[in-house]
Structure 1
Amino acid sequence: MNKRRTMATLLIGSMMMAIFSGCTGGNSESAQPQISEQDYEPYGKYETPVEFTIGRNTNHVNNLPSGDTIEDNLATRYVEDRVNVTAKVAWETDDMDQKLSLSMTTGDLPDVMLVSREIFNQLVDNDLIADMTEVYEKTASEGVKNIYGSYGDLLLNQVKVDGKIMGLPMTNIGNQHQLLWVRKDWVDKVGAKLPETVEDVWNLARTFVEKDVSGTGKTVGMVMDSNAMNFTPIFAAHGAFPMNWIQKDGQVEYGSVQPEVKQALTELSTMYKEGLIDKQFAVRSNEEKEALVINGQAGMLFNPWWIGYTNYKDSIKQDPEAVWVAISAPVDENGKFKTIRQDPVGGGIVVVKKDFAHPEAIMKSVNLTTDFLYSLTEDAINYKNEHPDELLTDASRWNNDPTQIPMQVDYDDVLKRYYDDLIKADKAGDASAVQEDRVVSFKAYQEFKEKGNAIDANTYGEYLSRIEGQREANNPNLEVIPAGFYGTTETMKLKWANLQKLEEETMLKIIMGEAPVDEFDKFVDTWKRTGGDEITEEVNEMSNR
C-alpha cells in the first residue's frame, strides 16, 4: 500500500492537525520523552505506570464476574501486574466508523483505536497515527511474531505504508471456507456413497428428495443462504469465484463478472427448478433455515468448520441417530477442492495516536493479552490458576472483550495446529499434553468417543467443529487460491453498495428462474458501465504499486 496524497487531502490534514495540536497541548515529536531500550523489552515493567485511553465498541454482553468491569478484571489486572500498563475507556460506541470520523474532525482521538481499513487509510493520509515499525520489531513478543509470521508477508503488508508498519492487524485465520456437511446415516440408509464431484452432489440430493429420507414428505435436497454465497464450492468447481478479486491474465479482475459464473448459475437454476434446492431459501429467516436441518428435513448443507457452534448442533436433540460428517466436495475436474484466500485482516486494525509517549506499551499489552487468552506461556497459565475465583465466565480464546485492547490474533494455520494437538493427545491418552485453552475440546472428543450422540448438544457441537470440521478444513485436496486484492478504492466508497445489490439481485433471480440465464450478460454490461470498470482500474493501480 502507498500513500495517495492529493492537494485536498493535504489541506484537510493540515486543518485536522491544527485542531489536533490545539487539543493535545501542542505535543510534538521533539517534546516526547525518549524511549529507552529497556522500555522496548517485550515484557519489561515500567517503574512509573503508563496509561492509555482507548475507544471501544460497546460491550453488550456482561460475562464478567461480579464486581469486575471492562477496565478492571482478571485479563486487565494481568497486564497491569506484569508491565504496569493501564487502559482507560475514552468512549464506547455502536458505530465505530462514525464516531472516529467525528473524532478526526475535532481532534479528540483516544490513544488507541481499533479501526476499519477505510478509517485506517484516512488516519494514515492525515498523519494522525504512529509509525509502529520499530515498536513491532523490538517489542512484539515471540508469540505474536510467530502468529503474524505464519501468514508470510500477506498480513503485515496490509498495514504497511511506504514500508512502515502503521498498525497491528487483527487476524482472519485460514481455511474457513465452506465444507459440505452430510447426514451419513441418510447416505447409508439409501445405499449411496459420499459425493465427490458436482454431479455426485446433485445425485445425492436427488436421491434424498425422491426417497423422502426424512420421512416427513417434505425432504429438502440442499439448504441455501439467501445470497447464494454459501454455495461457493459449487461455483469453485466451475472455476468461478464470485465476490472476490482474482488474478487473471496478469490483471486483477472481479470474479463475479467472469463467464464461469454464468456456467455455475445455469446449473444452480436447473437444480432449483428440479426441486433439489430449498424452494423457499430466498425468503426464509435464519431460524427457519436452521429448523430444516435441526428438525431433520435436510441432510446436506454447506457451512464452515465451526458449524458445531451454531444451532445446527441441536439436530441430535431431535434425532439421536443423526450422524453428520464434513467432506470437501465438490471437487473440480482435476480433483481439487478450491477456495479463495479471504482477507487476512479480520475485525480491524489497532492503531496508536501519533505522539503518544509510549507506543511500545501498547505492544506489551497485546503481548500479554495474547498470552493470557491462549495460555501461551507458563506465566499466563500460572496467573489464571492462582486466581480461580476471578476467571471470566467465558474463558474461551474468542472472549477478548474484557481485555485492555479487544483484539484477536491467531495463527493462519491454527485449525491444523489445534486438530493435530487434539489427535496427538488422544493417541497418547494424555490430556496434559493439550494446550491449556484446548482442553475443553479434548474432553468433548473423549466424551463423544465414549457415549456417541448421548451427550449434550454443546459437547456434541464442540466435537463436531474441533474434530470433524477442523480435520476436513485441512483436506489434502484443498487448493487455496490467492486473492487479487483486498481493501477499498475511492470509487468503491461511492458505488460499491449499489453494485453489490445489483449483483445479488441478479444472481437470485437467475437461480430462482425469475430471469433467464442470459440476464447475467446484461448484469455484466451494467456492472462495468456503472462503476465496475472504473473500480477495476483503481484496483489494478493500487495492486501494481
Structure 2
Amino acid sequence: MKRMESLIALMVCILLAVTACSSGGKNNPAGSGGSGGSSNTSSNASADNTPAPSGDPVTIRTVIKDVSASNPLYAQYFDALEAALLEHEGLNVQFELVELPQGNYAENLNLLLLGGDIPDLIYFQGGDQPIAEQGLLEDLRPYIENSKYLKNIMMEHNIKRIESYPYLLWIKPVTPKVPVVRADWLSGLATGEALMDNPTPDNYYAFFKELVDSGKAKYGITVAGDLAEINFIFNEAFGVTSTWLKKDDGTYEYSLVSQAEKNKLEFYNKLYKEGLFDNEYMTKQWDTKEDAFYKGDAGVIVGTAGKVIDLYEARMKELHGDSAGLVVLPPAKGVSQGFGATDVTKESRGFAISAVSEHKDVVFRILDFLASPEGQTLDRLGFEGQHYNVVDGKAVLTDAFFSEWIASFWEPIELNTTIPVEGALLGATAQESLEMPTKYFKEDNNFAIPEEHVATWDALTNLYKEYAADFITGKKPISDFQKFVDAWYANGGKEITEYANDLLN
C-alpha cells in the first residue's frame, strides 16, 4: 500500500512538471518530460494542431513494443506512412520511434513514463491503468465519434471496451491465444489422435508425456513468464469459466480462490514435476519461448490466433521443411470447453494518446487514416514488389508477406483496401486459429476495479502469483491452497468480493 501511495504521489508530481514545463520534441534529452513537437515545430501547425503540408514536419514521438528504427522494415514502414499521410491527409509529420531496453515491455514502458518522458502515441501491453488514473491518457471517445473511418471499422467488442475504458484502442478480431504443435510430430505420436478427438486434461497429459518420452521434445509445453498462456488451454476444462464463478447459493466467488483453480494448479504441478511443463517457464520471454519451440525443446507453445500463427508456421517450415507445418490444438475439455471468456471491460493492449501531448488531434488523425482504404493498404498488405505484386489488377501476396509482414495497427474483419487481394491474407492454419475460438465465444462477467480498490487488487494479484508459482514448483504443497484463500480474503479480497456480489446481482 505504501509503495502504491508513493507511486501515485510521484505520478502527480510528474504530471504537474510535464504540464508546466514540457518543451517537447526531439530537442529534449531523454527523460526530460517532453512529448511531441518542439515549440518551433508547433508554429507550423494550424489552430487545431494540424501541421501545414509545407515547412518543418511536426514530430510525433511514438513507442511501440518491438518497433525500432534500427529495423529496416519498420524504418521503411514509417517512412511510407509519413509519405501517405502527406499525400492523402495533408499531414506533414515525422515519427520519432522511442527505444526501450530489452526485457519486460510493460515494466520498461512504465519506467519511461514515470521518468517524465511521455511520447505522443503510446502502445500499451499492460500497465496502462495506473497511468490512466493519473489523467495522463486522453479519452478517445469524442475523437472516435468525429472520426472519418475508425468508427466504421470498430467491432462490437471494441465498442463495448472503449465505452467502459476510453483510453486504449485495439481494433482486431477477438483473438485468444491457441496452442500449436508441429504437424509431423502430432501425426507421429500414438496419443495424437486421441487428443484431437477428445482433448481432456488426461489426454493432454498423455500427449505431453509421449512428446518427451519419444525424444521429440525436452518438455511438452512452455509459456512466456506466467500462467496466462497455458490457462487459455485448461481454464474451462477445470471449471474456471469466468472471472467470477456463481456458487450453488447464488453468490459469486473470485475464480482464483475456487476449488476449480486448486484442481487446475494441482494438474500444472503434476506436469511440472514430471518435466512436461518447462521448469524454466517463469524466466521465459516471448522470444525465448518461440526459440524453444523452433529448436524443438518445447513440443507445444501458445500464440495469438491469426497472423502470429502464420509467422510461427512460416518460420518452422523454413527451419524444418514443409512437413513441419503447424496444427492448432483444441482447448481442453472437461467441466466446460473453450479458450476462455472474453473480457469486454477494456482492451488488454492497444494504442493510447498522451493527454499532455501538444498534438493530440494530429495523433488521432494518424490513427484514423490507418483505418482508411489507403492506410489499410499499407498496414495490411505491406510494400508492393516486396510483400505483394499487382497482377491483373489484384494484389498477389508473396512468400515474404506470410513470413514477415504483420499489421502494426488495425485489422478489422472486413478488408477494405484500394486494391482487391487475390486469395486470403492468412494461411489455412492461421485461419483455423481464428475460426476455432468463435464457436466457444462468450463474454466474461468481470468488471473494472474501482479506483479505491486498485491498490488492494494489485496486491492480491501478486499474492496469487506468488502462491501459484510455489504450488506449481512444489515449494508449497497444494494442501496449503486454503491458506492462500484465507490470506486473499484477509488482505482485501472480502471487501472486493462483497462489491462484486452487489454489482453482479
- By the TM > 0.5 criterion, same fold? yes
- Cα offsets for 1:434-489 (capped at 9, x unmatched): 47xx3xx5xxxxxxxxxxxxxxxxxxxxxxxx421331332254233325035674
**Residues 235 and 474 of structure 1, relative CA distance in 2, 3 Å threshold:** same
Q: Would you say the 8 A contact 1:64–1:73 is kept in 2?
A: no
| Shift, 1:317, TM fit | 3.3
Aligned to 1:521: 482
The 5 Å alignment of 1:484-495 reads 484-486=446-448, 489-493=451-455
- More relative contact order, 1 or 2 (CA 8 Å, 6+ apart): 1
Where do residues 438-477 of structure 1 align in structure 2 (5 Å cutoff)? 438=425, 441=426, 466-475=427-436, 477=439
In the TM superposition, 1:418-457 aligns within 5 A as 432-434=421-423, 438=425, 441=426
Contact 2:189 2:211 in 1 (8 A): no
Deviation per CA, 1:515-535, whole angstroms, max 9, x where unpaired?
322211111211222343455
**132, 137, 154: which is aligned to 1:120?**
132
Give the Å deviation of 1:75.
0.9
Which residue does the alignment assign to 2:42? none
Structure 1 residue 122: Cα displacement: 1.6
CA contact (8 A) 2:122 2:353 kept: yes
Contact 1:224/1:281 (CA < 8 Å) preserved in 2? no
Q: CA offset at residue 284 of structure 1?
A: 7.2
Q: 67, 83, 89: which one pairs with 2:89? A: 83
* 8 A Cα contact 1:489 1:539, kept in partner: no
8 Å Cα contact 2:53-2:86 kept in structure 1: no
Rounded Cα–Cα distance in structure 2 between residues aligned with 1:540 and 1:49: 59
Question: Cα distance 1:51–1:470, how it changes in 2: closer, same or farther (>3 A)?
Answer: same
**Contact 2:218/2:298 (CA < 8 Å) preserved in 1?**
yes
Q: Give how far 1:494 is off.
A: 6.6
Q: Figure out how many residues of one structure are paired with residues of the other and give that number.
A: 439
Distance 1:23 1:349 in 2: 21
Aligned CA distance change for structure 1 residues 91 and 99 (closer, same or farther; 3 Å): farther
Alignment of 1:109-508 (within 5 A): 116-123=128-135, 133-138=141-146, 140-142=147-149, 144-151=150-157, 153-160=159-166, 167=167, 169-171=169-171, 173-179=173-179, 181=181, 183=183, 185-190=185-190, 192-193=193-194, 194=196, 195-208=198-211, 212-214=213-215, 220-223=219-222, 227-232=226-231, 233-240=233-240, 245-246=243-244, 248=246, 254-273=254-273, 275=274, 277-278=276-277, 280-282=279-281, 293-296=293-296, 299-305=299-305, 306-310=308-312, 313-314=315-316, 317-318=319-320, 321-322=323-324, 324-333=326-335, 336-342=337-343, 343-353=346-356, 360-371=361-372, 372-375=374-377, 398=406, 400=408, 408-411=409-412, 414=413, 432-434=421-423, 438=425, 441=426, 466-475=427-436, 477-486=439-448, 489-493=451-455, 496=458, 498-508=459-469
Letter in 2 for 1:77: A
* Aligned equivalents of 2:442, 2:253: Cα separation in 1: 17
- Higher mean C-alpha deviation, range 261-270 or range 479-488: 479-488
| Structure 1 contact 53–110 (Cα < 8 Å) conserved | no
| Cα contact 1:159–1:169 (8 A) shared by 2 | no
Shift of 1:79: 0.9
Secondary structure of 2:340 counterpart: strand
Aligned with 1:179: secondary structure? strand
Distance in 2 between residues matched to 1:158 and 1:20, nearest whole Å:
30
1:177 deviates by 2.3
**TM-superposed deviation, 1:261:** 0.3
User: What is the deviation of 1:375?
Assistant: 0.8
Distance of 2:86 and 2:309 partners within structure 1: 37
What is the distance in 1 between the residues matched to 2:115 and 2:272? 47
CA–CA distance in 1 between the matches of 2:218 and 2:244? 37
Name the SS for the 2:350 alignment partner.
Answer: strand
1:123 is paired with a residue of what secondary structure?
Answer: coil
Check 1:492–1:74 CA distance in 2 against 1; reply closer, same or farther (3 A cut). same
User: Separation in 1 of the partners of 2:289 and 2:367?
Assistant: 39
SS of the equivalent of 1:237 reads: helix
Per-residue CA shift, 1:68-110, capped at 9, x if unaligned?
799x822112112222223356894645545545659xxxx77
Q: In 2, Cα distance between the equivalents of 1:197 and 1:314?
A: 27
| Alpha carbons 1:182, 1:301 under 8 Å: kept | no
Aligned-pair identity in percent equals 14
Unpaired runs of 5+ residues, structure 1, are 1-7, 25-31, 40-44, 161-166, 389-393, 401-407, 422-430, 442-465
Residue matched to 1:62: 70
Cα offsets for 1:16-70 (capped at 9, x unmatched): 499649989xxxxxxx9987xxx9xxxxx9788897554433864423589x799
Q: Counterpart amino acid of 1:256?
A: L
State the secondary structure of the residue aligned to 1:170: coil
One-letter code of the match for 1:238?
Answer: F
1:480 aligns to what SS in structure 2?
Answer: coil
Residue 433 of structure 2 aligns to which amino acid in structure 1? Answer: E
Residues 49 and 85, structure 1, Cα contact 8 Å, conserved in 2: no
Report how far residue 248 of structure 1 moved. 4.0
Change (3 A) 1:110 1:190: closer
Contact 1:114 1:349 in 2 (8 A): yes
Measured at CA, do residues 289 and 472 of structure 1 come closer, stay the same or move farther in structure 2, by a change above 3 Å?
Answer: closer
Whichever residue aligns with residue 367 of structure 2, its letter is V
Task: Give the match for residue 458 of structure 1.
Answer: none
Aligned residue type for 1:366 = L
> TM-score scaled to structure 2, two decimals?
0.66
Scaled by the length of structure 1, the TM-score of the pair is 0.62
Equivalent-residue separation in structure 2 for 1:511 and 1:174 (angstroms): 30
Q: Residue type matched to 1:258 in 2? A: S
The 8 Å contact of residues 177 and 339 in structure 2, kept in 1 or not, is answered as no
Q: For residue 481 of structure 1, give the secondary structure of its aligned residue in structure 2.
A: coil
Q: What stretches of structure 2 of length at least 5 have no aligned partner?
A: 1-7, 25-44, 101-107, 391-399
Looking at structure 2, the residues matched to 65 and 199 of structure 1 have their Cα atoms a distance apart, in angstroms, of 44
CA–CA distance in structure 2, aligned partners of residues 316 and 110 of structure 1: 37
Q: Distance in 2 between matches of 1:289 and 1:82?
A: 41
